[in-house]
Chain A
Amino acid sequence: MSTGLTFTMRNQPRAGVAGAVPGFATVTLTPEPWRHYKVEVRSAPQTFSARVWPEGQWTPVVRDRTADRVVSGELVWRPPPCSVASAER
């Protein structure tokens, strides 16, 4: 049974760096019993350094820690959700 997980990022811009809208990214996940997962963020090193996460320049992925593999599905950028099961970073 598939579940949608929606994420957003919190900007903490370094001095001199302009902010940006991080947007909401939804990935699908079909969780399986007795497995543990973790959420990772993929982005360019400069984004990590700037600590500003413009929409489209970061990607959430869910890793199955038991099997050590990425298990999340297609990413969709969407408007702010009403109901989220988010793991805000």
Chain B
Amino acid sequence: MTARATSRWILVALRAYPPAFRAQFGGDLARTLDDAWRARRGRLAARTAARLQLLATTVSSGLAERGVAVSRLTWRSHRPHLYEPAGRHASMWDSLRFDLAAAVRGLTSARAFTVLTVLALALGLGANSAVFSMVNGVLLRPLPYQDPDQLAMVWSENPRLANETNPISPANFDDFRRMSRSFESLDYALSFIVRVGIQGQEDQGVVQVLRVGPTLLPILGARMQLGRLMGPDERDVAVVSDRAWRTRFGADPAIIGRKIVLSGNESITIVGVAAPEFVFPLRDMLWQAGTTTPQVADLWIPMPMEGPRWVLRDGTLIRSTHALMAIGRLRPGATAAQASAELRAHAQTLADRYPDSNRGWSARVVGLHAQATGSMRVGLSALQGGALLLLLMAAVNVTNLVLARSIARQRELAVRSALGATARQLVRQALIESLLLAGLALGLSTVVGVWLLRALVALAPATVPRIADVGAGVETWAASAGLALAIGIALAIVPVWVAARTDVRGALQDGSRGAAGVSRSGGRLRTTLVVAEVALAVVITIQAGLLFRSFTSVVTTHPGFQTENLLTFQMTTPDRLTAVEAKRAFYDDWFARLSTLPGVTAAGGTTRIPLGSSSVTTSARVEGNTNAASSLPEVEFRRASSDYFRAMGMPIVKGRAFSPADRPTDPAVAVINETMARAVFPGVDPVGRRLQIGPDPTGAWITVVGVVGDIRHNSLEVAPPPEMYIDMRGNPPNGPFMAVRTAGDPLALVETIRGLAKSADATLVISDFRTMSDLRSAALAERRFVLTLVSGFGVLALLLAVVGVYGVLALVVAERTSEMGLRMALGAAPATVVRLVLRQALTLTAVGIGLGLVVAAGAAGVTRGVLVGVTAYDPLTYVSVPALLLAGAALAALVPARRAMKADPALALRV
């Protein structure tokens, strides 16, 4: 056909149509009519008649169309005509709809690509959303208190002691409260939880009690669901937690005003039931929180600072006993750092004024949120970092897939462009397709995320703060949607980039020739992406490797006692035993009966069970040392029974353990650990030496009778501190822990011991039966949890990197089939071709590894804080991870290499 002008008559007839109709269909209709006009052949009369009929039909159709338009205008129909301008938005919506439909068709036709892309992104997004939910729930969510950002804790700080967060003494607390201008209000609580029984509920075990200052709960903004808070001057009252109200009091709505009697004949009246969301303290607010016991308060009881425990004979508060945690509300505008600086200055004033007790002691203010979440911050941040890196790797892999697809679709893009598609339309189409992919991945990731989060919460140790409340919320979904949107936009850049580099002329003439230019730069991009992917895999896997090495180091750490066949539990002595002599007689009888139970080889008791309870320290003055109390060494202090060391399997290194022959009326005796022997008695034999504990220089002397091996008391990861034990018969405790060495399964003895307790005294409360193996396992739970997840990320990262290397090489081999065929036709051995492919794979991987090692070394500071027994530059990890990746890359390259080797030279040359 040749160019021609449309018949004038046709153009005139078309004027019968409304202008809007002509604007939309005029061109196409004119061409159609013109073809019909010129198709009329034959005699003039017949031709004229046919053409007149054509004109008449056109005019009548046009007028009819006008009539419809007029009637629509008249009746104001809501249904628009196709040719009526539907408005800019409707037109844009139509275009979007068409692009969306085209994207759906395109993705449906490329099923493998779509499935792989959506799965990879959904896994990455799902992992991120699960970890983010946990980070949000544990770290970011506000604490369940009123204006929690204004709350802060005050700790004592002493550079001589390893722990920066020591409890505060009553006198120092009182001075800080008076002197501080940064705090609007400040109150205290005991820095540890005590476990007591409730009379009449002995069979239900103990409740956990936190003794608090009278205004502490109001400072926190505690809300009551029943009753009221305790008044400032009230004694012998309690607020009960929602959990205890439900489990111990059957959610009794009439509980307010009910009297209960705790161990020690302490009678209290319940005045309030806290709202369900009020949980205080969280584990890390307590001192020495490295314990595996759940630290949740069931009862809050007011504890005024009065009586001999807090007030000295001269009427002043005690300054040397550090036993309180202090929590306050900062004044508006004040920060924890400012408060810290202010209290440090006050601490210096107090140290100058009271050098005996305060020299060397300073103060430290920590935001309550930071304090409550501190122990999990590094671990969870590492997890979130790992999840983000994993998502980045998934995105890189997907980018490679999109790149390959875009190169394959160059001709289609060129045709679209030739048919009049504008650059904007092509970009929009690419954007819609990639956003659709990201949207599908987001949808699937919601399911994956919920599933993974459930698994995470199930795996997480109970000691993770607020783990029970972790759930996927709007914030998580918004974060995932933001990530998906960013990925969708980033992926759209790839086809646009390819289109911008496409040689349209070549693409239209010959697809492969047109692709050559893009293939070259696309190949470079693909290679860069895979190098980046390998580098990311190295970073993740090295972190996982370091954590694994650290974990094995902790697991293989000997705790200093025998964990196998050891049963532990806590007991609270009967309330009828008030006199020391009566308690002593009770314990003598109890241990005699306990140790002779069938299957028991030894039984002992202590006030602090290793890995399962908190610690307490005291200063120790060796005879002859006249230094001020504040410069005396602090040692951990426990009471223990005579057979405790044997039951625990702790070796007596020097001297002896306690003996039944040590009479309580004789001067007290002590057993110390090896670290204390080195630290307090350097270069001398401590056995037979005397020391005093506490700040009182007139206190009783205690004779060291033995040295016992070091044990890891607070944590498997912390070196043993100086420890001393005194014989518990001297001052029998009310709630000791028992250690029972058994010949067989420790748990098989639980019921026997319960029976023994019942027969000994019906009001004896025993609870918390756990094997020492379980305690040890629980002590590793947080580290195991982080390790499990980071290892999972590491394995996935390795797989993604290997798949990435495979993908690139498969494409390279496919593109170079002719070249390889030619090489073999010219006499190259198949092994040469294999070497060629392998060399390319290993070169790519080596470059990625080099880059990854540099980044991993730079990021060493992130994980240094959680590593134990291994350096952040552990040579074994830094060698084995690259070796593993190189081996994986070589394996990944073998498949395409074999394919290249088997290429039929003749066939390849024909392609």
A-B contacts, 25 of them at CB < 8 A, read A1-B411, A14-B68, A31-B415, A31-B418, A31-B508, A32-B508, A33-B506, A33-B508, A35-B418, A37-B419, A40-B27, A40-B31, A42-B28, A42-B35, A45-B29, A45-B32, A46-B61, A48-B25, A48-B29, A62-B419, A69-B1, A85-B415, A87-B419, A88-B98, A88-B102
What does the 1/0 interface line of B827-870 toward A look like (CB < 8 Å)? 00000000000000000000000000000000000000000000
Known: A35-B418, A48-B25, A87-B416. 4 other contacts (CB 8 A): A29-B415, A32-B508, A70-B1, A82-B109
Q: Is B402 an interface residue, CB under 8 A from the partner?
A: no
Chain B residue contacts of A31, Cβ below 8 A: 414-415, 418, 508
CA distance A12 to B24 in the complex (A): 14
Nearest-Cβ distance from residue A5 to partner chain B, whole angstroms = 7
Chain B residue contacts of A36, Cβ below 8 A: 418, 420
Residues of chain A from 27 to 58 with CB closer than 8 A to chain B in the complex: 29, 31-46, 48-49, 51
Q: Is B628 an interface residue, CB under 8 A from the partner?
A: no
Query: Which of A40, A49, A51, A83 contacts B109, CB < 8 Å?
Result: A83
CA distance A70 to B691 in the complex (A): 110
Chain B residue contacts of A84, Cβ below 8 A: 102, 105
Chain A residue contacts of B2, Cβ below 8 A: 69
Interface centre among A14, A33, A34 (most CB of B within 10 A): A33
Query: Which of A1, A37, A45 contacts B420, CB < 8 Å?
Result: A37
Chain A residue contacts of B21, Cβ below 8 A: 48
Chain A residue contacts of B65, Cβ below 8 A: 49
Q: Is B108 an interface residue, CB under 8 A from the partner?
A: yes
Q: Which 10 A-B pairs have the closest CB atoms?
A: A33-B505, A83-B109, A68-B3, A45-B61, A31-B508, A82-B109, A42-B32, A12-B82, A41-B28, A69-B1
Q: Is A67 an interface residue, CB under 8 A from the partner?
A: yes
Chain B residue contacts of A45, Cβ below 8 A: 29, 32-33, 57-58, 61-62
Chain B residue contacts of A42, Cβ below 8 A: 28, 31-32, 35
Nearest-Cβ distance from residue B69 to partner chain A, whole angstroms = 11
CA distance A45 to B247 in the complex (A): 82
Nearest-Cβ distance from residue A53 to partner chain B, whole angstroms = 11
CA distance A41 to B106 in the complex (A): 24
CA distance A36 to B421 in the complex (A): 10
Report the nearest A residue to B510, measured CB to CB: A1
Q: Is B64 an interface residue, CB under 8 A from the partner?
A: yes
CA distance A33 to B98 in the complex (A): 27
Query: Which of B32, B68, B416 contacts A44, CB < 8 Å?
Result: B32
Q: Is B696 an interface residue, CB under 8 A from the partner?
A: no
A43–B511 CB distance below 8 A = no
Nearest-Cβ distance from residue A73 to partner chain B, whole angstroms = 12
B411–A3 CB distance below 8 A = yes
Chain B residue contacts of A48, Cβ below 8 A: 21, 25, 28-29
Residues of chain B from 481 to 537 with CB closer than 8 A to chain A in the complex: 504-506, 508-511
CA distance A37 to B508 in the complex (A): 13
Q: Is B412 an interface residue, CB under 8 A from the partner?
A: yes
CA distance A70 to B412 in the complex (A): 20
Nearest-Cβ distance from residue B520 to partner chain A, whole angstroms = 20
CA distance A51 to B415 in the complex (A): 28
Q: Is B577 an interface residue, CB under 8 A from the partner?
A: no
Chain B residue contacts of A88, Cβ below 8 A: 98, 101-102
CA distance A83 to B109 in the complex (A): 6
Q: Is B79 an interface residue, CB under 8 A from the partner?
A: yes
CA distance A45 to B1 in the complex (A): 22
CA distance A39 to B415 in the complex (A): 12
Chain B residue contacts of A82, Cβ below 8 A: 105, 108-109
Nearest-Cβ distance from residue A19 to partner chain B, whole angstroms = 14
Report the nearest B residue to A45, measured CB to CB: B61
A33–B415 CB distance below 8 A = no
Q: Is A18 an interface residue, CB under 8 A from the partner?
A: no
A33–B82 CB distance below 8 A = no
Nearest-Cβ distance from residue A65 to partner chain B, whole angstroms = 8
A1–B511 CB distance below 8 A = yes
> Number of contact residues on A: which range applies?
35 or more
CA distance A41 to B27 in the complex (A): 9
Nearest-Cβ distance from residue A28 to partner chain B, whole angstroms = 12
Residues of chain A from 5 to 22 with CB closer than 8 A to chain B in the complex: 5, 12, 14-15
Nearest-Cβ distance from residue A46 to partner chain B, whole angstroms = 6
Chain B residue contacts of A85, Cβ below 8 A: 412, 415-416
Chain B residue contacts of A70, Cβ below 8 A: 1
Report the nearest B residue to A44, measured CB to CB: B32
Chain B residue contacts of A83, Cβ below 8 A: 105-106, 109-110
CA distance A68 to B62 in the complex (A): 27
Nearest-Cβ distance from residue A64 to partner chain B, whole angstroms = 9
A67–B61 CB distance below 8 A = no
Chain A residue contacts of B108, Cβ below 8 A: 82
Chain A residue contacts of B58, Cβ below 8 A: 45
Report the nearest A residue to B513, measured CB to CB: A1
Nearest-Cβ distance from residue A59 to partner chain B, whole angstroms = 9
B418–A37 CB distance below 8 A = yes
CA distance A35 to B31 in the complex (A): 21
Nearest-Cβ distance from residue A4 to partner chain B, whole angstroms = 10
Report the nearest B residue to A39, measured CB to CB: B419
A38–B419 CB distance below 8 A = yes
Nearest-Cβ distance from residue A38 to partner chain B, whole angstroms = 6
CA distance A45 to B14 in the complex (A): 10
Chain A residue contacts of B110, Cβ below 8 A: 83
Nearest-Cβ distance from residue B738 to partner chain A, whole angstroms = 74
CA distance A15 to B109 in the complex (A): 36
Nearest-Cβ distance from residue A77 to partner chain B, whole angstroms = 18
Chain B residue contacts of A32, Cβ below 8 A: 508-509
Report the nearest B residue to A85, measured CB to CB: B412
Residues of chain B from 1 to 31 with CB closer than 8 A to chain A in the complex: 1-3, 21, 25, 27-29, 31
Nearest-Cβ distance from residue B848 to partner chain A, whole angstroms = 35
A33–B509 CB distance below 8 A = yes
CA distance A43 to B31 in the complex (A): 9
Interface centre among B61, B64, B81 (most CB of A within 10 A): B61
Nearest-Cβ distance from residue B883 to partner chain A, whole angstroms = 44
CA distance A50 to B105 in the complex (A): 28
CA distance A5 to B756 in the complex (A): 90
Report the nearest B residue to A42, measured CB to CB: B32
CA distance A86 to B411 in the complex (A): 13
Nearest-Cβ distance from residue A17 to partner chain B, whole angstroms = 11
Chain A residue contacts of B33, Cβ below 8 A: 45
CA distance A42 to B103 in the complex (A): 27
Chain A residue contacts of B420, Cβ below 8 A: 36-38
What does the 1/0 interface line of A64-82 toward B look like (CB < 8 Å)? 0001111000000000001
Nearest-Cβ distance from residue A24 to partner chain B, whole angstroms = 11
CA distance A51 to B25 in the complex (A): 10
B105–A33 CB distance below 8 A = no
Nearest-Cβ distance from residue B120 to partner chain A, whole angstroms = 22
B61–A40 CB distance below 8 A = no
What does the 1/0 interface line of B94-118 toward A look like (CB < 8 Å)? 0000100110011011100000000
Instruction: Please judge, given known A-B contacts A49-B61, A49-B65, whether A40 and B414 are in contact too, CB under 8 Å.
Output: no
Chain B residue contacts of A3, Cβ below 8 A: 411, 415
Query: Which of B32, B64, B510 contacts A49, CB < 8 Å?
Result: B64
Nearest-Cβ distance from residue A45 to partner chain B, whole angstroms = 4
Chain B residue contacts of A33, Cβ below 8 A: 504-506, 508-509
Nearest-Cβ distance from residue B86 to partner chain A, whole angstroms = 10
What does the 1/0 interface line of B173-187 toward A look like (CB < 8 Å)? 000000000000000
Nearest-Cβ distance from residue A39 to partner chain B, whole angstroms = 6
CA distance A69 to B82 in the complex (A): 28
Nearest-Cβ distance from residue A23 to partner chain B, whole angstroms = 16
Query: Which of A1, A12, A43, A69 contacts B509, CB < 8 Å?
Result: A1
CA distance A70 to B34 in the complex (A): 14
Chain B residue contacts of A34, Cβ below 8 A: 504-505
Report the nearest B residue to A67, measured CB to CB: B3
